[in-house]
Structure 1
Amino acid sequence: MGEAGHDAPAVNEEGKAAPFPAWARTVEECEKRFGVDRDRGLSSSEAAARLRAHGPNELLEHPGPSVLQLVAQQFEDTLVRILLAAAAVSFALALSSSAGALTLSAFVEPLVIFLILVVNAAVGVWQETNAEKALEALRQIQSDHAAVLRDGEWAPALPARDLVPGDVVMLRVGDKVPADMRVLRLVSSTLRVEQGSLTGETNSVNKTAHAVPAEDADIQAKECMVFAGTTVVNGSAVCLVVHTGMATEIGKIHSQIHEASQEDDDTPLKKKLNEFGEALTKIIGLICILVWLINVKYFLTFELDGWVPRNIRFSFEKCTYYFEIAVALAVAAIPEGLPAVITTCLALGTRKMAAKNALVRKLPSVETLGCTTVICSDKTGTLTTNQMSVSKLVAIGDAPGKVRSFKVDGTSYDPRDGKIYDWPAGRMDANLEMIAKVAAVCNDASVSHSSNQYVSTGMPTEAALKVLVEKMGVPEGKNGLSVDPSETLGCCRWWSNAAKRIATLEFDRMRKSMGIIVTSKSGGNTLLVKV
Structure 2
Amino acid sequence: MGKGGENYGKREDLGGKSVSDKEVFPAWSKDVKECEEKFEVKRDYGLSEDEVVKRRQIYGFNELEKHEGQSILKLILDQFNDTLVRILLGAAVISFVLAWLDGEEGGEKEITAFVEPLVIFLILIVNAAVGVWQESNAEKALEALKEIQSETACVIRDGKRISSLPAKELVPGDIVELKVGDKVPADMRVLRLISSTLRLEQGSLTGESEAVSKTTKAVAEDVDIQGKKCMVFAGTTVVNGNCICLVTQIGMDTEIGKVHYQIHEAAQEEEDTPLKKKLNEFGEALTVIIGIICALVWLINVKYFLTWEIVDGWPRNFKFSFEKCTYYFEIAVALAVAAIPEGLPAVITTCLALGTRKMAAKNALVRKLPSVETLGCTTVICSDKTGTLTTNQMAVSKLVAMGAKANTVRSFNVEGTSYDPFDGKIQDWPMGRMDSNLEMIAKIAAVCNDSGVEKSGQHYVASGLPTEAALKVLVEKMGLPDGVSSISSSSDKDGLRCSYTWNKIEKRIGTLEFDRDRKSMGVITSSTSGRKSLLVKGAVENLLERSSYVQLQDGSVVELDSSSRNHIMQSLHEMSSKALRVLGFAYKEDLQEFATYNGDEDHPAHQLLLNPANYPSIESKLIFVGLAGIRDPPRKEVRRAIEDCREAGIRVMVITGDNKNTAEAICREIGVFGSHEDISSRSLTGKEFMELANPKAHIRQSGGLLFSRAEPRHKQDIVRLLKDDGEVVAMTGDGVNDAPALKLADIGIAMGIAGTEVAKEASDMVLADDNFSTIVAAVGEGRSIYNNMKAFISFMRPDP
Range of TM-score over shorter length: 0.7 to 0.9
Distance in 1, Cα, partners of 2:322 & 2:4: 93
8 Å contact 1:174–1:458 — kept in the other structure?
Answer: no
Give yes or no for the alignment of 1:259 onto 2:265. yes
8 Å contact 2:5–2:40 — kept in the other structure?
Answer: no
Give yes or no for the alignment of 1:127 onto 2:134. yes
Aligned to 2:298: 292
Per the TM alignment, residue 310 of structure 1 is displaced from its structure 2 partner at its CA by 5.8
Out of 24, 30, 44, which is 1:39 matched to? 44
Per the TM alignment, residue 301 of structure 1 is displaced from its structure 2 partner at its CA by 6.7
Aligned to 2:251: 245
Distance in 1, Cα, partners of 2:366 & 2:508: 42
Aligned to 1:328: 334
Q: Deviations over 1:421-446 (max 9, x none)?
A: 8999x969687876666555544456
Give yes or no for the alignment of 1:192 onto 2:209. no
Q: Which consecutive residues of structure 1, in runs of 5 or more, have no partner in the other structure?
A: none
Aligned to 1:282: 288
Per the TM alignment, residue 283 of structure 1 is displaced from its structure 2 partner at its CA by 0.5
SS of the counterpart of 1:38? coil
Per the TM alignment, residue 79 of structure 1 is displaced from its structure 2 partner at its CA by 1.3
Q: How does 1:61-460 map to 2 (within 5 A)?
A: 61-99=66-104, 101-212=108-219, 214-263=220-269, 265-296=271-302, 299-300=304-305, 302=307, 304-306=309-311, 307-308=314-315, 312=319, 314=321, 316=323, 319-343=325-349, 371-374=377-380, 384=389, 387-390=392-395, 408-409=415-416, 411-412=417-418, 415=420, 418=423, 420=425, 438-439=444-445, 441-445=447-451, 458-460=464-466
2:167 is matched by which residue type in structure 1? A
Q: Deviations over 1:111-141 (max 9, x none)?
A: 2212221222222222222332133211122
8 Å contact 1:471–1:480 — kept in the other structure?
Answer: no
Cα 1:65/1:450, change in 2 over 3 Å: farther
**More off after superposition, 215-224 vs 97-106:** 97-106
Aligned to 1:56: 61
Distance in 1, Cα, partners of 2:24 & 2:272: 38
Per the TM alignment, residue 43 of structure 1 is displaced from its structure 2 partner at its CA by 4.4
**More off after superposition, 364-373 vs 132-141:** 364-373
8 Å contact 2:453–2:460 — kept in the other structure?
Answer: yes
Q: Deviations over 1:277-328 (max 9, x none)?
A: 111100111122223334455x537464444466947372x55454334333
Distance in 1, Cα, partners of 2:492 & 2:298: 83
Distance in 2, Cα, partners of 1:64 & 1:35: 39
Cα 1:311/1:337, change in 2 over 3 Å: closer
Cα 1:102/1:245, change in 2 over 3 Å: same
8 Å contact 2:41–2:47 — kept in the other structure?
Answer: yes
Distance in 1, Cα, partners of 2:458 & 2:101: 57
Per the TM alignment, residue 245 of structure 1 is displaced from its structure 2 partner at its CA by 1.2
Cα 1:388/1:451, change in 2 over 3 Å: closer
Number of residues of Structure 1 aligned to a counterpart in Structure 2: 519
Distance in 2, Cα, partners of 1:333 & 1:480: 75
Name which structure has the greater RCO, CA cutoff 8 Å, separation 6+: 2
Per the TM alignment, residue 453 of structure 1 is displaced from its structure 2 partner at its CA by 7.2
SS of the counterpart of 1:36? coil
1:20 is matched by which residue type in structure 2? F
Aligned to 1:24: 29
Please report the RMSD computed on the Cα atoms of aligned residues, expressed in angstroms. Answer: 4.7
Cα 1:322/1:121, change in 2 over 3 Å: same
Distance in 1, Cα, partners of 2:381 & 2:496: 39
SS of the counterpart of 1:175? coil
SS of the counterpart of 1:142? coil
Q: Percent identity?
A: 59
8 Å contact 2:512–2:521 — kept in the other structure?
Answer: yes
8 Å contact 2:173–2:248 — kept in the other structure?
Answer: yes
Cα 1:527/1:170, change in 2 over 3 Å: farther
Distance in 2, Cα, partners of 1:482 & 1:423: 27
8 Å contact 1:201–1:382 — kept in the other structure?
Answer: no
8 Å contact 1:438–1:529 — kept in the other structure?
Answer: yes
8 Å contact 2:426–2:477 — kept in the other structure?
Answer: no
Distance in 1, Cα, partners of 2:459 & 2:338: 50
8 Å contact 2:142–2:264 — kept in the other structure?
Answer: no
SS of the counterpart of 2:191? strand
Cα 1:107/1:34, change in 2 over 3 Å: same
Cα 1:430/1:342, change in 2 over 3 Å: farther
Cα 1:211/1:512, change in 2 over 3 Å: closer
Per the TM alignment, residue 180 of structure 1 is displaced from its structure 2 partner at its CA by 0.7
Cα 1:328/1:163, change in 2 over 3 Å: same
Per the TM alignment, residue 172 of structure 1 is displaced from its structure 2 partner at its CA by 3.1
Aligned to 2:797: none
Cα 1:239/1:391, change in 2 over 3 Å: closer
8 Å contact 1:36–1:166 — kept in the other structure?
Answer: yes
Cα 1:262/1:241, change in 2 over 3 Å: same
Cα 1:152/1:77, change in 2 over 3 Å: same
1:94 is matched by which residue type in structure 2? A
Cα 1:363/1:506, change in 2 over 3 Å: farther
Distance in 2, Cα, partners of 1:8 & 1:392: 51
Distance in 2, Cα, partners of 1:332 & 1:323: 14
SS of the counterpart of 2:138? helix
Cα 1:118/1:479, change in 2 over 3 Å: farther
Distance in 2, Cα, partners of 1:301 & 1:46: 87
**More off after superposition, 300-309 vs 325-334:** 300-309
Per the TM alignment, residue 248 of structure 1 is displaced from its structure 2 partner at its CA by 1.0
Out of 511, 515, 521, which is 2:522 matched to? 515
**More off after superposition, 21-30 vs 459-468:** 459-468
Q: Deviations over 1:388-416 (max 9, x none)?
A: 2537575879999997968644x455x49
SS of the counterpart of 1:131? coil
